[in-house]
Structure 1
Amino acid sequence: MRHISLAGRRRIRLDHDAPVPAIGPGDVLVRVAACTVCNRSDLAYYHYYGLRDHCATGCFGHEIAGTVAAVGERVTSVEPGRRVFVRTPLTSGFAEFAAAREVSVGALPDDVPFERGAILQLLPLAVHATRGVRLGDRVAIVGQGPVGLMALQVARLRGAAEIAVADLDPWRLDQSMLLGADRTVLVESPHAVPDRLGADFDVAVEAVGTPHTARACVDLVRQNGLVVFLGTHHVDTEVTFDMVKWEKKGLRVHSSAEPTDTARAEAMAVAVRLAFAGRVRLDTILTATYPLENLQEALDRLSQSPTLHPAGHDTPHRTPPEKTLKIAICP
């Protein structure tokens, strides 16, 4: 099969004769129809391979949609021929086939194109991240990339009374309004978020993955408010906080990662129900589709982002790539 892997820092390799992944008793083999590029993890692995240990161990190409080709003997929830999306596979989706554990595979509605279906990988993540949002809450979301836009939609479904969002890019904020934001704020830097967005939110969702945006969320919430870490801190892996401020506010915190298979299964089940009910929009988040051979072009386009550089370092990019959210790669 055709398969693209990381061959070094900022280097990828296309293999035309790679072996089809083997699956175990509890695994599923998926014929990949589309794999969207993760704007955070995939790009961090690509740019920091060999420099950060975790960039050599993560799955490069993990947002997959396709058709079940085979199942292990203990798999009961899907069968060959079923349309599915995958959350965190065992092998890369930048290939014609990928393997995944059964708990990471969810049914894909027939009316959802595969290119959009791959984006559903973000939905269980957003479901788990927003589990602390209660009916009537005021919610702030910092960052309106793909995962921030998905969190916006799920927070609205959970009954938030007000959702205010902030981003560096006015075009992304336009998409936020289409997806239900009550208020959008354009900021010139993460430092400006608290002054521009306000304070006393019940929940602040950090959907970027930088030290500045993480600290901004502490300033946004009220006493005993909830800070959610949804953005992935692959570039700046260590973040410092003013713990006196944190203690005075008595803040609560949780991340978006599902710590157990039970939590993952619950989030996947909710995501599948929402997908079949048509409660989330994916068309707004998908902005381009490239063939597998053009993955390099997609990586180059998405790499025009300031968040790929460590905090305090010079970057040639002040905003995200123009009018770009998710790019789907189709084998």
Structure 2
Amino acid sequence: MCDVPVPVPGPLEVLIRVRACTVCNRSDLAYYHYYGLRDHCAQGCFGHEVAGVVEAVGPGVTRVAPGQRVFVRTPSTSGYADFALAREVAVGSLPDEVPFEQGAILQLLPLAVHATRGVRLGDRVVVIGQGPVGLMALRMAALRGAAHLTAVDLDAWRLERSMRLGADTTRHVDGTTEQLLGAGSDFDVAVDAVGTPTTLNACVSLVRQNGLVVMLGTHHVDTHVTVDLVTWERKGLRVHSSAEPLDTARAEALAVAERLVRTRELCLPDLLTHTYALDELPKAMEHLSASRVLYPDAERAPYDGPPRHTLKVAILP
């Protein structure tokens, strides 16, 4: 822990007094363990799932004002602090009835909104990985009108939550390709909410001809993935990622997220499982680090799956 100057918001920037910052089960863990080992782990924002109150705004900001409760899509500075800086385009309004520790989870919502943009009414959708972002994507696919939702995960406890959030079918797997492919076939959409070579290639096999593969899980550990392009071409697959490359897409997804928060359709209490004080951040990281996803896909790992009975962990300053 150390003291640093409070950031000063510049044009179109917002200073937020942090009230909660949830730990990203994928990016934050990768940044924490692979800093200095993967170049991109020194470039991301460690602690990017923030909720709090607007402290000050820079010139040109019109959407939010000091004193307003907000959540943040991605801040410019770490949320593991008393204050965080963010661009106005990344800040959404947080209703009074949503606790801050649940509000911080909403960083995932615009991501899931954008990731599921290709889901159409009546689609058959499979989501591999039922961590927080996979569960959020499952919920978004349900709200978009998917006719049948299949949830796949290594952890039976997480799959129980999948049923609460709209899954019609669940499949408990051990992570092998054979078991993943047993989830079915001819899905219209397959979402990789893990981010490993095995899960991405399984999605390719699970979708129908001309189906859609969604890359939602970030490939922080195995950054280079080999795919069979002949299969992609033969099946005529469509593919997109969850990232919003332009501010226009970011603003659209955030606007949808703000409307969804007011509907109470998101089941946020089901996603939050633990809270820690800011000075307990190392303890929280240790808790979450008992996870298979921190190890390369082909490497023998000391864990068979995610930490037991754990989804989102909130850090409270």
2:295 paired residue number: 309
Shift of residue 174, structure 1, vs aligned partner: 0.5
Instruction: Indicate yes or no: 2:302 matched with 1:327.
Output: no
Shift of residue 84, structure 1, vs aligned partner: 0.2
Shift of residue 190, structure 1, vs aligned partner: 3.9
8 Å contact kept, 1:91–1:99 = yes
Matches of 1:315 and 1:215, distance apart in 2: 20
The unaligned stretches of length 5 or more in structure 1 are 1-13
Matches of 1:278 and 1:94, distance apart in 2: 27
Shift of residue 18, structure 1, vs aligned partner: 1.4
2:193 paired residue number: 207
Within-5 A mapping of 1:116-195: 116-195=102-181
8 Å contact kept, 1:193–1:216 = no
8 Å contact kept, 2:190–2:214 = yes
2:28 paired residue number: 42
Structure 1 counterpart of 2:275, from 269, 289, 301: 289
Structure 2 counterpart of 1:75, from 61, 65, 84: 61
2:88 paired residue number: 102
SS of the residue aligned with 1:153? helix
Structure 2 counterpart of 1:239, from 216, 219, 225: 225
The unaligned stretches of length 5 or more in structure 2 are none
Counterpart amino acid of residue 18 in structure 2: V
Matches of 2:213 and 2:251, distance apart in 1: 24
8 Å contact kept, 1:166–1:193 = no
SS of the residue aligned with 2:269? coil
Per-residue CA deviations over 1:181-211 (Å, capped at 9, x if unaligned) read: 0000000114134432000000000000111
8 Å contact kept, 1:32–1:93 = yes
8 Å contact kept, 1:116–1:286 = yes
Q: How many residues of Structure 1 are paired with residues of Structure 2 in the alignment?
A: 317
Matches of 2:243 and 2:135, distance apart in 1: 17
2:76 paired residue number: 90
1:196 paired residue number: 182
SS of the residue aligned with 2:86? strand
8 Å contact kept, 1:194–1:219 = no
Counterpart amino acid of residue 80 in structure 1: P
8 Å contact kept, 1:190–1:216 = no
Identity %: 67
SS of the residue aligned with 1:60? coil
Per-residue CA deviations over 1:91-140 (Å, capped at 9, x if unaligned) read: 00000000000000000011000000000000000000000000000000
1:56 paired residue number: 42
8 Å contact kept, 2:150–2:168 = yes
1:278 paired residue number: 264
Structure 2 counterpart of 1:263, from 234, 239, 249: 249
8 Å contact kept, 1:59–1:90 = yes
Shift of residue 35, structure 1, vs aligned partner: 0.1
8 Å contact kept, 2:173–2:180 = no
TM-score by length of 1: 0.95
Counterpart amino acid of residue 188 in structure 1: D
Shift of residue 308, structure 1, vs aligned partner: 0.4
SS of the residue aligned with 1:78? coil
Counterpart amino acid of residue 61 in structure 2: V
Per-residue CA deviations over 1:31-89 (Å, capped at 9, x if unaligned) read: 00000000000000000001111111110000000000000110000000000000110
